[in-house]
Amino acid sequence: MLRPRLRRLVGAAILAATLVLPASGIAAAATPATGTTPLPEIKLACALVVPNPLAPIYPNRAVVCRWEPPTGVDIRAFRLWKAVDGGDRHLLAVIPSGGPHRFADFRIRTGHAYHYFVAGIGTDGTRVAKSAVVTVRVGRPAELLGFNCVVLIDNARHGVLCRWSDALRPAAARYVLWRSVDGGAREAVYRVGEDGRRSFFDTDVKPGQVIRYAVVAVNTSGRVVGLGGPDRVVIPVWPVAAR
């Protein structure tokens, strides 16, 4: 006789508990477990950038991160996160979706590994896209090379002679001499192995030009390990005897 009544009481208790359950709890219970539906991928690339003496966009060493958002996803902003040597991550920057999809991190030190991660935030404040974690390890700063360029007139020849010191880093494999004429794009005018001649006589010059020269020592993979310059040279009007 008591069993039907007991069943009714238990059913009422369950119904009452459901009615007083907070709305947030219901929503959480209805939300699929994290990771069941992969988020669209943001393509993230980060790299250590050394100062470019001919185009000093970044005056000091920096880790520059660039990313490409996925198509068809409504993103309001990007959050760039950073962790050092596997420690806790912290928010590095918040970039509006219409802003440049890049960020330069100057707060780096030699001998550390930096891990970066970017997330796309939707209009409702939730994460709608994410990137993989990208790691950048920071080594020693580039060695400073002695460097000097001067205008020379030698009989019928005229031009600019550039000389530089020998790189002390064992990793140095070759030298590349760059120049920029009148603020234009930089161009490589001379390449030589580490044991080659550390000077170059540039005759492809004209009176009135303002030329900036710089030399870099790179390892076998192309990473800059030594840096000299820039040196600014103004080409004068040549004397008649040198024409």
Taking phi over 0 as left and psi of -120 to 50 as alpha, with beta for the rest, 103 belongs to: beta
Residue 174's pLDDT is 96
CA distance 11 to 99: 56
Q: How far is CA 177 from CA 72, 94, 172, in A?
A: 45, 38, 14
41-137 carries CATH number 3.40.50.10420: no
Query: What's the pTM value of the predicted model, to 2 decimals?
Result: 0.61
Residue 176's pLDDT is 96
Two domains, one topology: 41-137 and 143-242:
yes
- Write phi, then psi, for 8 (nearest 5 degrees): -65, -40
Cα radius of gyration (the chain): 31
CB 105 within 8 A of CB 92: yes
Residue 36's pLDDT is 56
CA distance 57 to 64: 11
Q: How far is CA 194 from CA 49, 152, 220, 225, in A?
A: 22, 25, 11, 12
Identify the bridge partners of residue 137 per DSSP, sorted by sequence position: 113
DSSP strands (E only) in 29-112: 41-49, 62-68, 77-84, 90-96, 102-105
- Per-residue pLDDT of the chain in tens (243 residues, 90 and over written 9): 444 443 443 343 333 333 233 323 322 322 334 455 889 999 999 998 877 777 766 667 899 999 999 999 999 999 999 999 989 999 999 999 988 999 999 999 988 999 999 999 999 999 999 999 999 999 888 899 999 999 998 777 789 999 999 999 999 999 999 999 999 999 999 999 999 999 999 999 999 999 999 999 999 988 888 999 999 999 998 765 544
CA distance 4 to 6: 5
CB 99 within 8 A of CB 52: no
Residue 240's pLDDT is 59
Residue 241's pLDDT is 53
Taking phi over 0 as left and psi of -120 to 50 as alpha, with beta for the rest, 202 belongs to: beta
Q: How many residues does this entry show for the chain?
A: 243
Identify the bridge partners of residue 51 per DSSP, sorted by sequence position: none
CA distance 63 to 84: 13
CB 139 within 8 A of CB 114: no
143-242 carries CATH number 1.10.260.40: no
pLDDT in tens, 135-156: 999 988 889 999 999 999 877 7
CA distance 1 to 72: 63
Give the β-pairing of 62-68 and 77-84. unpaired
User: Could you tell me the residue ranges of all domains in the chain?
Assistant: 41-137, 143-242
